[in-house]
Amino acid sequence: MGIDPVGALEIVIWEGEKRKWRSGPWNSAIFTGIPDMFRFTNYIYGFKLSTPDRDGSVYFTYVASDSSDFLRFWIRFDGVEEQFRWNKDAKNWTLLQWKPSTECENCLDGFEPVHQDQWNNKDFSGGCKRRVPLNCNQSVVADQEDGFKVLKGIKVPDFGSVVLHNNSETCKDVCARNCSCQAYAVVLGIGCMSWTHDLIDMEHFERGGNSINIRLASSELGGGKEKSKLLIIIFSVIGAFLLGLCIWILWKRLKAFLRKKKDLPVSDIRENRDHSVNSSSSPIKVLVGDQVDTPDLPIFSFESVASATGDFAEENKLGQGGFDQANTIRVVGTYGYMAPEYAMEGIFSEKSDVYSFGVLILEIVSGRKNLSFRGSEHGSLIGYAWHLWSQGKTKELIDPTVKDTRDVTEAMRCIHVGMLCTQDSVMHRPNIGSVLLMLESRTSQLPRPRQPTFHSFLNSGEIELNLDGHDVASVNDVTFTTIVGR
């Protein structure tokens, strides 16, 4: 087990000369192949990369979030790496995580097993191959050119290369013009990566991971069939619109007819009652009295609505993609209030709200906005609160309007609770029930908060992340794994 000496900065477990498992490239915060690593690490604690020595060598160190914790890493006889923490109360070792935790299961769209009989016997060592070869090296018409299919929530393949490109082109442009490029990805903290060999050791995660774009032949992406489907959809929508328009025009004419009849004297209507019943071909046979109830809104038949919506198909459901509405998964947050795990990984929980609640407590007690410290030496109101706390000057944070009143003790307790709520690690934050208990109780002793390192307004208030995984594709000797909870 060690750092890959030739490729990207990642931890590798070897079985002889065979690579049994790898952590995924290091992105200056976590190993990208371990998306749940954020639970145990941040910019102060966890794995840290050393500065290069004179000969260019580097190494990783591990800093525990609690200096009193005893941690142990070991490799079992079968090549599985495990991380333990000593449980002082139970006096035993608690297993935190283990890798690898999954096995390969199936090929992806556009690929098939090299040896189907081996796969039937649960032997995936032969990998997968393309069903349709690429057309990049051949002279083809425009609608038969190779394309890319995006796969989300992925551990990027092994043996990737970091690609530098100028501002006038994108990572996709660099890969598209190189027929050897099998896939590309833009990885946060690393940049543009591409793969020119077989895509191996890919893994699909339920949460986290990266988006990777796999090169596929045009026929695997739909080709002409997609155009036909698009035309059918377009004509269906136009037909439904015209049908609705015709119904609306007919209804307007009917309303005009009813209003005209309504203005006739009652006596005239009664005198011609029999004649109207016998001779009129209109749906309104006779009008009696001086009031006619007419609806203000057009009425559509069940058949017309069913036709317009494709028999109420799911894809036409309003608010979920129907009638040109797009489904978008976006992580949306407000400057200064997003929890670290939500802003960086899109991971949301009850304790993400606890973080935001803690920021609000500090703002209310201090009378200052979290954003007002942006660009200062403290970086945020949370950092300023820790600065005063560490120097025993917490009282200076209190709003001057209440500093000299009898509520100072309660205000300082609120500051203490706010700092506990805004701790970087999810594990160290209290839940909302504990927060309410701490605010209501004046006798219980509160734990000491940990020094903050993260500010939720580093970049922007709206961050797009890929949270959901899709089918994963690879090239030739391909392996694919799916995480299944125990």
Higher pLDDT, 27 or 484: 27
Average pLDDT estimate for 177-185: 91
pLDDT of residue 185: 94
DSSP 232: H
Yes or no: say if 96 and 85 are a contact pair by the CB < 8 Å rule: yes
- The DSSP string of 114-169 is SSHHHHHTT--TT-EEESS---TTS---GGGS-EEEEEEEEEPPSS-EE----TTS
Q: What is the pTM of this model?
A: 0.45
pLDDT in tens, 228-270: 677 788 888 898 888 888 888 888 888 777 766 555 444 443 3
Does one domain contain both 26 and 144? Answer: no
Give the mean model confidence (pLDDT) for residues 203-211: 86
Q: Which residues contact 282 (CB under 8 A, 6 or more apart)?
A: 257
On whether both 421 and 379 belong to a single domain, the answer is yes
Residue 278 lies in a domain: no
Query: What count of other Cβ atoms lies within 10 Å of the Cβ of residue 324?
Result: 7
CATH at 366? 1.10.510.10
| CB within 8 Å of 48: residues ≥ 6 apart | 60, 61, 62, 63
Angle between helices 432-440 and 408-421 (to 10 degrees): 170
Domain assignment of residue 343, yes or no: yes
Q: Are residues 339 and 359 in the same domain?
A: yes
**Beta-ladder partners of 21:** 13
Helix-, strand-, coil-residue percentages of the chain, each rounded to 5: 30, 20, 50
pLDDT at 143: 62
Tell me the per-residue pLDDT of 334-382, one tens digit each, with 9 for 90 and over: 767 888 887 777 787 888 889 989 999 999 888 888 878 777 777 788 8
Burial class of residue 411, CB neighbours in 10 A (0-12, 13-18, 19+): buried
Domain total in the chain: 3
* pLDDT over threshold 90, residue 183: yes
What pLDDT score does 17 carry? 83
Whether 195 and 208 map to the same domain: the answer is yes
Answer whether residue 150 is part of any domain.
yes
136 vs 414 pLDDT, higher one: 414
- Residue with the bigger pLDDT between 482 and 406: it is 406
- Residues 353, 381 within the same domain: yes
Q: What is the mean pLDDT of residues 409-420?
A: 88
For residue 49, pLDDT over 80 is answered with yes
User: pLDDT at position 66, please?
Assistant: 77
Q: Exposed, middle or buried by CB within 10 Å (0-12, 13-18, 19+), for 242? A: exposed
**Structure token digits, residue 209:** 């991971």
Q: How far is 43 from 350, CA to CA, in rounded Å? A: 22
285 in a structural domain: no
Peptide linkage before 100 cis (omega within 30 of 0): yes
Phi-psi region of 24 (alpha: psi -120 to 50; beta: other; left: phi over 0): left
> How many of the other CB atoms lie within 10 Å of CB of 420?
22
Q: What is the CA radius of gyration of the chain?
A: 33
- 441 or 480: which leads in pLDDT: 441
pLDDT, average across residues 26-34 = 85
Mean pLDDT of all residues in 461-481: 41
Classify residue 11 by its DSSP letter: E
**Across the strands, what pairs with 213?**
150, 184
Lowest mean pLDDT among 147-156, 254-263, 351-360, 393-402: 254-263
Mean pLDDT of 154-166: 88
Q: Is 263 helix (H, G, I), strand (E, B) or coil?
A: coil
Rounded CA separation 197/410 (Å): 63
DSSP state of 320: T
Are residues 166 and 139 part of one domain?
yes
- pLDDT score at 482: 43
Kindly indicate the confidence band of residue 333, based on its pLDDT and cuts at 50, 70 and 90: low
Instruction: Label residue 112 by pLDDT band (50, 70, 90).
Output: confident
Tell whether 339 and 392 lie within a shared domain. yes
387 located within any domain: yes
The values of phi and psi at residue 79, to 5°, are 85, 10
Strand (E) or helix (H) holding 266 = helix 266-271
Choice between 269 and 434, residue whose per-residue pLDDT is larger: 434
Per the domain annotation, does 381 fall within a domain?
Answer: yes
The rounded distance, in Å, linking the Cα atoms of 54 and 415 is 46
- Cα angle: 66, vertex 70, 76; to 5 degrees: 130
Residues 133 and 204 placed together within one structural domain of the fold: yes
Give the model's pLDDT for residue 480: 40
Higher pLDDT, 459 or 255: 255
Strands 11-15 and 147-155: unpaired
- Give the Cα separation of 384 and 370 in Å (integer): 10
Percentage of the residues of the chain whose pLDDT score is greater than 70: 75
Q: Are residues 12 and 67 in the same domain?
A: yes
462: confidence class by pLDDT, cuts 50, 70, 90? very low
Do 459 and 471 share a structural domain? Answer: no
Enter the tokens of residue 67: 């200096």
Question: Structural domain of residue 67, as residue ranges?
Answer: 2-99
- Same domain? For 78 and 137 the reply is no
Higher-pLDDT residue of 86 and 480 is 86
Mean pLDDT for the chain overall: 76
| Claim to verify: residue 95 and residue 150 sit in the same structural domain | no
- Asked, for residue 309, whether it belongs to a domain, the answer is no
pLDDT score at 451 = 86
Residue 22 lies in a domain: yes
